[in-house]
Structure 1
Amino acid sequence: MNCHAIVLVVVVMFLFLFFIFPLAILQVLSKRRPSHLLAASLWISMCDLCLILMYLIMPVLCYDWSTDKSGGACHLYLRDILYSSVHMRSVEDFLQHCVPVLALLYCAALHLSTGVCELTMNQDFAVNRNISIPSYFYISGFSGIPHVRYYYIFLFFVYIISLLGNSCLMFVIIIDRNLHTPKYIAVFNLSLTDICESTAVIPQLLDTFLFGNQLIPYGLCLYNMLSVLLFISAQSLTLAVLSFDRFIAICLPLRYHMIVTHRSMLVIIGVTWAVALFMIIIATIFISRLSFCRVIVIINSFYCDHGPIYRSACSNNFPSYVINNLNPIVILGFPVFFIIFSYTCIAVTLFRITTPQDRQRATKTCTAHLTLVAIFYVPITFTYALSSIINTNTRIISLSLTSALPPMLNPIIYTFMTEEFMVSVKRLLKRRIIFPSPK
Structure 2
Amino acid sequence: MALGGNQSGGMTEFVLAGFPDLNSTRMELFSVFLLVYLMTLTGNMLIVGAVGADTHLQTPMYFFLGNLSCLEILITSVIIPKMLSNFLSRQHTISFAGCITQFYFYFFLGASEFLLLAVMSVDRYLAICHPLRYPLLMNGAVCFRIALACWMGGLFSVLGSTVTVALLPFCKQGAVVQHFFCDSGPLLQLACTNTKKLEETDFVLAALVIISSLMITAASYGHIILAVLRIPSASGRRKTFSTCTSHLMVVTLFYGSAIFLYVRPSQSGSVDTNWAGTVVTTFVTPLLNPFIYALRNERVKEALKDMFRKVVAGFLRSLLSAENFIKKTVQ
Equivalence for 1:168: 46
Equivalence for 1:230: 108
Q: Does 1:322 align with 2:200?
A: yes
Matched-pair contact (CA < 8 Å) for 1:290–1:316: no
Question: CA–CA distance in 1 between the matches of 2:281 and 2:307?
Answer: 33
Q: Does 1:425 align with 2:304?
A: yes
- 1:333 to 1:299, Cα distance in 2 relative to 1, 3 A: same
Which residue of 8, 12, 23 maps to 1:135? 12
Question: CA–CA distance in 2 between the matches of 1:355 and 1:221?
Answer: 55
SS of 2:237's partner is helix
Q: Does 1:246 align with 2:124?
A: yes
Question: CA–CA distance in 1 between the matches of 2:170 and 2:23?
Answer: 32
Q: Does 1:393 align with 2:272?
A: yes
Q: CA deviation at 1:220?
A: 1.1
- 1:294 to 1:343, Cα distance in 2 relative to 1, 3 A: same
Q: CA deviation at 1:384?
A: 6.0
Matched-pair contact (CA < 8 Å) for 1:133–1:218: no
SS of 2:104's partner is helix
Q: 1:174-223: CA deviations, max 9, x gaps?
A: 11112111221101101100110111111111122442342222111101
- For 1:293, give the aligned amino acid: C
Matched-pair contact (CA < 8 Å) for 1:291–1:314: yes
- For 2:126, give the aligned amino acid: I
Matched-pair contact (CA < 8 Å) for 2:260–2:277: no
Matched-pair contact (CA < 8 Å) for 1:140–1:301: yes
CA RMSD of aligned residues (A): 2.5
**TM-score, normalised on structure 1?**
0.65
Q: CA deviation at 1:324?
A: 1.7
1:344-423 equivalence runs, <5 A = 344-382=222-260, 391-423=270-302
Question: CA–CA distance in 1 between the matches of 2:222 and 2:179?
Answer: 36
Which residue of 296, 304, 325 maps to 2:182? 304
306-315 or 295-304, which deviates more: 306-315
Q: CA deviation at 1:318?
A: 4.9
Matched-pair contact (CA < 8 Å) for 1:142–1:148: no
Higher relative contact order (CA 8 A, sep 6+): 2
SS of 1:141's partner is coil
Equivalence for 2:325: none
Equivalence for 1:189: 67
Q: 1:374-412: CA deviations, max 9, x gaps?
A: 222223344568999x95234313312431111111111
Q: 1:99-136: CA deviations, max 9, x gaps?
A: xxxxxxxxxxxxxxxxxxxxxxxxxxxxx997654222
- 1:208 to 1:280, Cα distance in 2 relative to 1, 3 A: farther
Q: 1:289-337: CA deviations, max 9, x gaps?
A: 2112222322111111122222322235355223321232133222212
1:77-96 equivalence runs, <5 A = none
Question: CA–CA distance in 2 between the matches of 1:357 and 1:408?
Answer: 31
Q: Does 1:277 align with 2:155?
A: yes
Matched-pair contact (CA < 8 Å) for 1:292–1:312: yes
Question: CA–CA distance in 1 between the matches of 2:306 and 2:172?
Answer: 60
Matched-pair contact (CA < 8 Å) for 1:134–1:292: yes
- For 1:134, give the aligned amino acid: M
- 1:236 to 1:212, Cα distance in 2 relative to 1, 3 A: farther
Question: CA–CA distance in 1 between the matches of 2:250 and 2:165?
Answer: 32
Matched-pair contact (CA < 8 Å) for 2:203–2:262: no
SS of 2:133's partner is helix
Equivalence for 1:434: 311
Q: CA deviation at 1:371?
A: 1.3
Matched-pair contact (CA < 8 Å) for 1:375–1:406: yes
- 1:281 to 1:256, Cα distance in 2 relative to 1, 3 A: same
Equivalence for 1:60: none
State the number of aligned residues.
Answer: 309
Question: CA–CA distance in 2 between the matches of 1:428 and 1:285?
Answer: 44
Equivalence for 1:340: 218
Equivalence for 1:287: 165
SS of 2:175's partner is strand
**TM-score, normalised on structure 2?**
0.85
- 1:140 to 1:239, Cα distance in 2 relative to 1, 3 A: same
Question: CA–CA distance in 2 between the matches of 1:131 and 1:205?
Answer: 23
Question: CA–CA distance in 2 between the matches of 1:202 and 1:304?
Answer: 12
What stretches of structure 1 of length at least 5 have no aligned partner?
1-127
Matched-pair contact (CA < 8 Å) for 1:166–1:192: yes
What stretches of structure 2 of length at least 5 have no aligned partner?
321-331
SS of 2:179's partner is coil
Q: CA deviation at 1:260?
A: 1.0
- For 1:425, give the aligned amino acid: L
- 1:169 to 1:377, Cα distance in 2 relative to 1, 3 A: same
- For 1:248, give the aligned amino acid: L
